[in-house]
């Protein structure tokens, strides 16, 4: 027997280190096969990698299947009114810029009743990570036509098929002034999904990510078609775009695209016959409205009251 001196190595972890399981909360009540599960896993992984403090992280949602998201994150959350996720999130970020604020919304919540708030939120360009769950159907209320439903989609509101062209969320977002980050990914391409959400979080400004989603309950055949027809999916490739691992790169054809070129991004977005995954556009220099209101955040209660009284005095008769 020989005696061995073994030096043991230990990795020091921060006292407030958070494991991925610490961000999990409850059992997600989405249908089996729903793409929402994939996004939830990706976001929890992001929180762990970035070590986002749960008490410094907020998820804001409106109404719909996707908007149950805050219930499944062990962070702060606000499950708001239909279409009102953006103004709530903007209010949080405007007065608490130290918080990590995510907006989770659906194609109905964002593109229908919330469309007005959506457009102005793009222009305000506040530091929000926005995830649009687009399954192209109203799922929670059991299969009505949504703003993004393809023409001919048979629903309870259009039993003979929807008759109008759908809203194109990417094209719409790119058409608003002061837009700063627009990307698209898919729930069934996990590595690309994660890298896209990560890039959106790292961007300082309004990061809009449209996630092509599967609805196994009401759009099952359509979902299977999207997944199987790989020739109708292309990856937007650029050194400043979304990183793509080797296995994902082999799955789809590629389209070189410079995300600093907004005109090229708009041209790509007009092609509705192909699903483009990647970064359409990024402008890191776009103006941010949340920075406009940050000058008085350090005021004490007394200083705030004094400022209010000073303003009131201007209107004294």
* pLDDT in single tens digits along all 317 residues of the chain: 445 554 555 555 556 899 999 999 999 999 998 999 999 999 999 999 999 999 999 999 999 999 999 999 999 999 999 999 999 999 999 989 999 999 999 999 999 999 999 999 999 999 999 999 999 999 999 999 999 999 999 999 999 999 999 999 999 999 999 999 999 999 999 999 999 999 999 999 999 999 999 998 888 887 777 788 888 899 999 999 999 999 999 999 999 999 999 999 999 999 989 999 999 999 999 999 999 877 777 788 898 899 889 999 999 88
Q: Which residues neighbour 276 within 8 Å (Cβ) at sequence distance 6 or greater?
A: 184, 233, 234, 235, 236, 255, 257, 268, 269
Burial of 314 (C-beta count, 10 Å sphere; 0-12/13-18/19+): exposed
CA angle, 205 then 206 then 208, to 5°: 135
pTM: 0.90
Sheet containing strand 128-134, strands side by side: 76-79, 57-61, 100-106, 128-134, 206-212, 181-186, 275-282, 233-237, 253-256
Q: Which residues neighbour 134 within 8 Å (Cβ) at sequence distance 6 or greater?
A: 106, 107, 148, 169, 210, 211, 212, 213
Query: Cα separations (Å) of 23 from 29, 45, 230, 292?
Result: 17, 9, 33, 32
Q: How far apart are the first and last CA of the chain?
A: 98
Are 122 and 208 in contact, with CB atoms under 8 Å apart? Answer: yes
**CATH class entry, domain 25-290:** alpha beta
């Amino acid at each position: 027997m020989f005696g061995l001196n073994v030096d043991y190595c230990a990795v020091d972890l921060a006292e407030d280190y958070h494991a991925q399981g610490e961000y999990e909360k409850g059992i997600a009540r989405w249908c089996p096969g729903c793409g929402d599960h994939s996004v939830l896993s990706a976001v929890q992984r992001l929180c762990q990698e970035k070590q986002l403090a749960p008490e410094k992280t907020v998820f804001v949602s409106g109404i719909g299947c996707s908007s149950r998201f805050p219930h499944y994150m062990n962070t702060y959350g606000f499950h708001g009114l239909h279409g009102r996720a953006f103004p709530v999130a903007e209010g949080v970020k405007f007065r608490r810029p130290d918080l990590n604020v995510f907006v989770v919304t659906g194609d109905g919540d964002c593109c229908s009743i919330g469309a007005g708030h959506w457009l102005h939120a793009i222009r305000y360009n506040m530091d929000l990570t926005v995830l649009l769950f687009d399954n192209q159907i109203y799922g929670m209320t059991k299969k009505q036509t949504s703003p993004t439903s393809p023409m001919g989609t048979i629903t309870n509101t259009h039993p003979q098929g929807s008759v109008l062209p759908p809203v194109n969320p990417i094209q719409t977002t790119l058409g608003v002034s002061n837009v700063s980050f627009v990307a698209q990914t898919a729930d069934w391409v996990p590595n690309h999904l994660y890298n896209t959400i990560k890039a959106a979080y790292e961007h300082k400004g309004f990061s809009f990510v449209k996630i092509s989603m599967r609805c196994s309950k009401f759009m099952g055949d359509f979902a299977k078609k999207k997944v199987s027809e790989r020739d109708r999916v292309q990856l937007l490739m650029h050194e400043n775009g979304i990183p793509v691992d080797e296995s994902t790169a082999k799955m789809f054809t590629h389209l070189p695209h410079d995300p600093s070129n907004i005109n090229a991004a708009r041209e790509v977005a007009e092609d509705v016959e192909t699903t483009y995954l990647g970064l359409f556009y990024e402008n890191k220099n776009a103006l941010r409205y949340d920075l406009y209101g940050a000058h008085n955040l350090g005021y004490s209660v007394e200083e705030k009251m004094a400022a209010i009284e000073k303003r009131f005095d201007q209107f004294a008769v």
